[in-house]
Amino acid sequence: MLTKYGTNNIIIMITFGIILIIAGIFIHKIWLTSILEILGAVLILFTLWFFRDPERKIPEYAINDHSIVLSPADGKIVEIVEENEQVYLNEKCIRISIFLSPLDVHVNRSPLTGKIEYFRYHPGDYLVAYHPKSSSKNEQTHIGIVNEIGKVFFKQIVGILARRLVWDIKEGDSLIVGQRFGMMKFGSRMDISVRTNSEIKVKVGDKVIAGISQIAKLK
């Protein structure tokens, strides 16, 4: 299944790939025909791979327990640090950062069941997504979710290749843990901040899957 968040990109990229293949057919130089057809095929295959949106079975324990925080993105844990979060939690917290390579699924899912209490979009720079300063300087959205157990603050952050964030949520919306809410395109980063008394379930270097992997438990 392909994601609805990338429809325009999918149409453009696949169309361009087909044009390359067709152009190769009408060129009477074998080496150039081969290059164009290979480029067209690679572009089409990359598009289908990058914009894939696999169905996932959200763990029952996370649906039933509103203290469970699941990963909002596929990728690798690159940083777990304590810091003062002054946007939403407004206190010392633990930030967990996930780096997404272009090969990861880029559709994002809600880390928590709850209500969106805070949402802001911030334009910015395009540092490589694994750069520590990308968390504060790059183009990003800020999202705060609250439920009867606690709060979670997280950010969609674009990288050096990405130039667009996509979301279909707003303040006041209710989300279920693991629910799709948007996408980060072409290499990105996701930061999740929880209070310091939360139980962290991952470590740096771990691979996580959106809507499947538990990353924390709120207290």
**11 and 115 housed in the same domain:** no
Q: Please state, rounded to an integer, the average pLDDT across all residues of the chain.
A: 90
**118 and 86 housed in the same domain:** yes
At 72-113, the pLDDT tens digits run 999 999 999 999 999 999 999 999 999 998 889 999 999 999
Domain assignment present for residue 55? The answer is no
pLDDT score for 127? 58
User: Any catalytic annotation for residue 174?
Assistant: no
Residue with tokens 């509103």: 66
Domain with 192, as residue range(s), is: 60-217
Burial tier of 217 (Cβ tally within 10 Å: 0-12, 13-18, 19+): middle
Q: List all residues 6 or more positions away from 136 whose beta carbon is below 8 Å from its beta carbon.
A: none
At 105-138, the pLDDT tens digits run 999 999 999 999 999 998 866 555 555 555 556 7
- Tally the domains of the chain: 2
pLDDT score for 136? 58
Give the amino acid at 118: Y
Contact 197, 179 (CB under 8 A): no
**10 and 66 housed in the same domain:** no
**Pairing between strand 214-217 and 199-200?**
antiparallel
The residue from 135, 188, 193, 213 that is catalytic is: 188
Burial tier of 66 (Cβ tally within 10 Å: 0-12, 13-18, 19+): middle
